[in-house]
């Protein structure tokens, strides 16, 4: 499974002009895949609304 994931992430490398941007994209994708809770981005946006 890891080689397939690496291959899939590498396919997106041409969409990024900088190495650092691609690595950040990979880190974000991997963190979503490794998350135990499926709250994701919606919890981040709802937390910001509560502060206002």
Q: Of the candidates 31, 24, 21, 49, which has an alpha carbon nearest to the alpha carbon of residue 39?
A: 31
1 pLDDT more than 90: no
Task: Confirm whether pTM is higher than 0.75.
Answer: no
**Model confidence pLDDT, tens digit, residues 2-36:** 899 999 999 999 999 999 999 999 998 888 887 76
pLDDT bucket at 42, cuts 50 / 70 / 90: low
Overall average pLDDT of the 44-48 stretch: 51
Q: Are 45 and 28 in contact (CB under 8 A)?
A: no
């Amino acid at each position: 499974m890891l080689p397939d994931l690496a291959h899939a992430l590498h396919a997106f490398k041409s969409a990024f002009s900088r190495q650092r941007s691609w690595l950040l994209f990979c880190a974000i994708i991997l963190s979503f895949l490794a998350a135990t809770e499926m709250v994701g981005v919606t919890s981040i946006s709802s937390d910001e609304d509560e502060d206002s």
